[in-house]
Chains A and B, each alone.
Chain A
Amino acid sequence: MSLRTAPAAPPPQAPVGEPPAPGRPARYRLARWDLKYSPYLYIAPFFLLFGAFGAYPLVYTAWVSLHDWNLIGSSSFVGLDNYRALMVDADFWNAVVNTMGIFVIATVPQMVLALALANLLNRGMRARTLFRMGVLVPNVTSVAAVGIVFGQLFGRDFGLVNYLLGLFGVDRVDWQANTWSSWIAIATMVDWRWTGYNALIFLAAMQAIPRDLYESAAIDGASRGRQFWSITIPMLRPTIIFAVIISTIGGLQLFTEPLLFGNGRILGGSLRQFQTVAMYMYENAFQRFNYGYGSAVAWTLFMLIALMCAVNYLLVRRSAR
């Protein structure tokens, strides 16, 4: 069908069976070349761009981190000095603790809620698409918008969250001022934006589970809950691992939500109570113009992400068995 709409191919100059016309070998060679080498041409843009703007900067970060490198561009090799300083830098460890804390209190409820939500969506129902769109719509909202709106919702004096808590007799919480409360507020933003998305990922995997597994389990007298734990969860294990790894990579680089929750200040609260590692990297590189030290923070975060991915992989693999 699409062939017919295509412009006609070049007229065959030498019908099959006739001796090749003089122009033919060149054309033939061209076609061979095309078939052999054009695939590389077609995939080259990705590798060139990724090499120049993805891989090279990431690797070069390691090199910069071994230097005392500043704004003017003067740099001197200092070996592992930046890392040594980092190991005893209280602000860095504070950022690490904040990032991990927010990550844990965001990810654990998020995965549980997403699984529950997927299980609810995995039924015959009316307005299926509408419900799916309803839970996905937070993911469409920009992170900046989320930071701004939730910053107001978690406001101390006029925030809706404190108002609701007040109805139950709970005193006003100064969400920004305390470590735990700010972590909870930021984790709420992350979960609001990503739970529905992960629920759809889990839902897709649930729908790929053969139904006769459930039917035979039902014949054997397994309850709904039993089926969920003994069939759905084990069958979903690869998807859960995938979702946790993706959340780890994203969650440990958390930046925009805490930044805008703190009204755009890179310190993350007056006592750095919610400054993340990505914010600390930014502070060093782009506000103090200490590229070398900032790169050491970035590279350490990179290793932390790799480590956490490995740990989470092992944890989820074991617990979902």
Chain B
Amino acid sequence: MLSASRRLWQASPLTYVALVLAVAMSVFPIYWMFVVATRTNDTINNVPPSLLPGGELTTNAGRVLANDHAAFLYGLVNSVVVSVAVTVSVVFFSSLAGFAFAKLRFRGRGPLLMVIVGTMMVPVQLGIIPLYMLMVKLGWNGQLQAVIVPFLVTGFGVFMMRQYASQAVADELIEAARVDGCSTFRVFWNVVMPALRPAAAVLGLLTFMQTWNEFLWPFAVLDPDTPTVQLSLSLLATAYYTDYSQVFAATAMATLPLLAVFVLFGRQIIGGIMEGAVKA
């Protein structure tokens, strides 16, 4: 019986073929991005198309960096600043709030948690017009804090950390620390936070990738002379849309940091997405 049920769950050669095909289709556009980035515009338009990388990557990358219109390097630096600031803050404040919801008793805990889960469903992006007006009033339009401050803590983050904290931290541990005279913040910082590290890492990775890729709000509130890297990309793609080798070199450079993160931490990212799915 065991062998029969195990055979039921083994992948057949056909499964492998189908999966290899699916992966090929997933990877190809990214591969193509790098192919075009390494060629001259003339050879991109070859018929039949050339599917192998050429040797023009440094030339194309150099043209991107020298392009004042897109301020690509500046956009790259801005994106690093924005993504790191948002990530650090989201991880800290989400862990803190998640700890409170999982381990501290206070009036209104259940309903407030429901509110947080509910906010995850709200398309806040539709509020960008008053949000923009607010930024103008604060004098933040065109400045990086406009794309940082509104995102310093997210409902998703709080909920995720709450779910993890409630099963990863033993109540006895917290009780013991409290008996020793720890304040709730000391309990959080010295007892809970170390235990939350795996979930915090996943939340950090997901937040970093999402912030790096954000488009509509930076597009609305930032100026072309203070771009994020996605904005630089769109400026370049809009103004030079026939110059594929330059645009694709920029796209490749903007995607490379994320691909590096993904290759290094793919297992954790997949684990985070799948765990979140079961709980949701």
The residues of A with any CB-CB pair to B shorter than 8 Å are 2-3, 5-7, 9-10, 12, 31, 34-36, 38-40, 42-43, 45-47, 49-50, 52-61, 64, 117, 120-125, 129, 131-138, 140-153, 157-158, 160, 163, 192, 196-197, 200-201, 203-205, 208, 211, 214-215, 218, 224, 239, 242, 245, 249, 253, 255-256, 259-260, 263-265, 278, 281-282, 285-286, 291, 294-295, 298-299, 301-302, 305
- Contact partner of A38 (CB less than 8 A), chosen from B184, B230, B259, is B184
Minimum Cβ distance to chain A for residue B154 (Å): 8
Minimum Cβ distance to chain B for residue A204 (Å): 4
Find chain A residues with CB under 8 A from B67 CB.
Answer: none
The residues of B with any CB-CB pair to A shorter than 8 Å are 1, 4-6, 8-11, 15-16, 18-19, 22-23, 25-27, 29-30, 32-33, 36, 44-45, 47-49, 93-94, 96-97, 99-101, 104-106, 109, 112, 116, 119, 121-134, 149-150, 152-155, 158, 173, 176-177, 180-186, 188, 190-191, 194-195, 209, 212-213, 215-216, 220, 230, 233-234, 237-238, 241, 244, 247-248, 251, 254-255, 258-259, 261-263, 266-267, 269-270, 273-275, 277-278, 280
**Most chain-B CB neighbours within 10 Å: which of A12, A124, A132, A259?**
A132
Q: Are A294 and B129 in touch, CB under 8 angstroms? A: yes
Find chain B residues with CB under 8 A from A147 CB.
Answer: 237
Q: Are B36 and A201 in touch, CB under 8 angstroms? A: no
How far apart sit A137 and B255, CA to CA, in the bound complex (Å)?
11
Find chain B residues with CB under 8 A from A2 CB.
Answer: 173, 190-191, 194-195
Minimum Cβ distance to chain A for residue B47 (Å): 7
Find chain A residues with CB under 8 A from B176 CB.
Answer: 3
B interface secondary structure, majority: helix
A-B contact number at CB 8 A: 316
Q: Are A56 and B155 in touch, CB under 8 angstroms? A: no
How far apart sit A160 and B124, CA to CA, in the bound complex (Å)?
37
How far apart sit A47 and B97, CA to CA, in the bound complex (Å)?
10
Find chain B residues with CB under 8 A from A160 CB.
Answer: 32, 49
B124 nearest in chain A by CB position:
A54
- Contact partner of A117 (CB less than 8 A), chosen from B1, B10, B22, B248, is B22
- Nearest first, the 7 A-B pairs at minimum CB distance are A264-B238, A57-B127, A134-B23, A53-B150, A204-B274, A6-B190, A58-B127
16 inter-chain pairs at a CB distance below 8 angstroms, sorted by A residue, are A6-B177, A6-B191, A53-B134, A54-B122, A57-B127, A58-B126, A60-B127, A61-B129, A142-B258, A145-B255, A158-B49, A200-B274, A214-B5, A253-B123, A253-B126, A299-B126
User: Contacts A145-B33, A249-B121 given: A39-B104 contact, CB under 8 Å?
Assistant: yes
- Contact partner of B11 (CB less than 8 A), chosen from A123, A151, A163, A204, is A123
